[in-house]
Structure 1
Amino acid sequence: MAGLRVDELRQSYGERWRWYAVGTMMVATMATVLSATSINVALADIMVAFDLGQGQVHWLATGYVASMTLAMLCSTWVLDHIGVRAATMLVMTAFSVISVAGGLSTDVSLLFASRFALGALSGLM
């Protein structure tokens, strides 16, 4: 786990390294919370656009939370095996790409898959 020692971070980034770390995690946390809750205001429009029933469309919110919960169980293993910095960068990059793909989806199965994947990535984050 090279690069995780405090003295290495201080040498690379100066005393600002703490603020970089805090800022990165604040952005990640806000993105996951917004992603989890913002879908609720769009459920009615999604029902119309994809011709879904209420029971089906609520899986977008429920599936997100369910996959997030399952992924939280694996987060310690991921952090131990690939490292905190690598995991954070990988998860944040994948989260951004899948968010765009889900937002641009024209197929309901891609929308559901992106929501489940975003939930899993949120759990890892």
Structure 2
Amino acid sequence: MDDLHQIELAEYLARRRKYLKLSVRGLARKAGMDMATFSRLENCQLRNPRVETLRSLATALEVPFFDLLTVAGFQTPFDLDAATRPIWAKLSALPVEASADADAYLQRLIDQHRIDLDGPTIDPQDLDLR
């Protein structure tokens, strides 16, 4: 995460936490995370939070997960090609428990097809979506 997104995330977390009238300890407890980790995030001392951490925080802060990803500077499904947006929009409506199943399924597909996520970008028009 770059410096600008780190600052924006810290400010967003602090504003939302205060809006909900939660202490650092209270929000950390609600998110099921260590208070020190949350404190480091809110004080710009944690540069690369895990996606799972952001998902827990989004739930605790009562905000959409993708909103928090966007503030943190992650590429979200809404940054992707228009053809894939409806799929991701539907997946974002899954309960937290089901999203873990979806993540596991996608990982199995990635492994099965030996997809290199750091490799070249695939043009969505080249995909057979039948």
TM-score (norm 1): 0.31
Larger RCO: 1 or 2 (CA < 8 Å, sep 6+): 1
Relative to its length, the structure with more helix (as a share) is 1
